[in-house]
Chain A
Amino acid sequence: MWQLDSSTLITVLTILASSIGIVLGCVVPALMEGKAVQKALDGITRQPDAANDLRTTLLISMALLESTAIYTLLVVLVLLFANPLLDRFFG
């Protein structure tokens, strides 16, 4: 195994963790949002009169679902661009 000094190790681990985290944090909300849209479209085709109510509810709930992906993105951005661990150990 290569000999890595600890700052390189932290950087490599940070990159690995951010990539895995952003993949999981984007895929799961996307799948669930697809489910929500599917159900809403189902409802609209069954009852076209209720389309306006459904659209408002759908947009609100999609925003709430989307925010988990946004939280992941923010954590990853902080890890990549403003890593607190590097500052603490090697500031």
Chain B
Amino acid sequence: MDVINPQVVFYIFGLPINNTVVSTWVMMAVIIIVAVLIRKFKPNIAEALLETINGIIGSVMPEDAKVTKYLPFLGSLTVFLIFANIFSIFPAMVSPTANINTTFALALLVFFSVHVYGIREKGLWGYIKTFSKPIFLFPFEIISQLSRTLSLTLRLFGNILSTDLVVAVVFSLIPYLAPLPFAALGMLTGVLQAYIFTVLASLYIASAVEIEQTEQERRRLKEELQQSS
């Protein structure tokens, strides 16, 4: 039972605090300290990291999209996920993403940011109109929006939980040295899952903000008309 449900460590005003939440707090402190140290002593590492994340997001986005507009959200998502997925290699810590509530919160963030970016790009009515082309596909679009949130949640949660479980099972059989390859595999899977989560999030945002060819043509014609008149 306590494999799937995280353990409650203590209570704040009757609110149960899980061990995953505690390790999230520790992880936030670690991220802040590492970021400050890198910024102070090795700024070029931060620059290379930024370039890498920018390249990953830019490879998915359409050519003319401004990647820097979405970089604060997607980049911090990547950094958070990379740290969160490999955080169980530290002793007495668990991965924050091995709790389904964390991954569901992240998927909800992606869900809402997709709509916010889409509405900001096209306006409310224009964004709703993209769902209903043709009109009978509207319910299916709604279902696909909801199911992609669910699949983002369950994929990340299942991957991280399963790799942690494999390490725990091997550790209970042979405690010394044998779990190391599995822990290394778990780190590889964690980084890969962080990459995939980011790529999928930027893919969803890109599909929400992309303006279709005919729409673009019409806007250009409109501008030309306004200029000529």
Contact = CB atoms under 8 A, between A and B. Distances in A.
10 contacts: A52-B59, A56-B59, A59-B192, A59-B195, A60-B196, A60-B199, A67-B154, A70-B155, A70-B158, A74-B154
Closest 9 CB pairs of A and B: A70-B158, A63-B196, A67-B155, A81-B3, A74-B158, A81-B4, A82-B4, A73-B158, A70-B155
Contacts, number: 45
Contacts of B193: 63
Contact of A59 (B3, B157, B162, B199): B199
A56 B195 CA distance: 10
A71 B59 contact: no
Nearest to A52: B59
B60 A71 contact: no
B200 A82 contact: no
B172 to A, nearest CB: 15
A33 interface: no
A81 B200 CA distance: 31
Interface string A39-78: 0000000000000100010011001101100110110011
A46 B5 CA distance: 48
Contacts of A64: 151
Contacts of A73: 158, 162
B18 to A, nearest CB: 16
Interface string B151-163: 1001101110110
Interface in B183-229: 192-193, 195-196, 199-200, 203
Nearest to A70: B158
A66 B158 CA distance: 10
Interface string B164-175: 000000000000
A81 B157 CA distance: 16
Contact of B60 (A56, A67, A74): A56
Interface string B37-67: 0000000000000000000000110000000
Interface in B112-162: 151, 154-155, 157-159, 161-162
Nearest to A55: B59
A59 B162 CA distance: 19
Contacts of B196: 59-60, 63
Given A63-B193, A70-B158, A74-B158, 19 more contacts: A52-B59, A59-B192, A59-B195, A59-B199, A60-B200, A63-B196, A63-B200, A67-B151, A67-B158, A70-B154, A70-B159, A70-B162, A71-B158, A73-B158, A74-B154, A77-B3, A81-B1, A81-B3, A81-B4
Contacts of A67: 151, 154-155, 158
Nearest to A59: B196
A26 to B, nearest CB: 11
Interface centre among B1, B158, B200 (most CB of A within 10 A): B158
B183 to A, nearest CB: 19
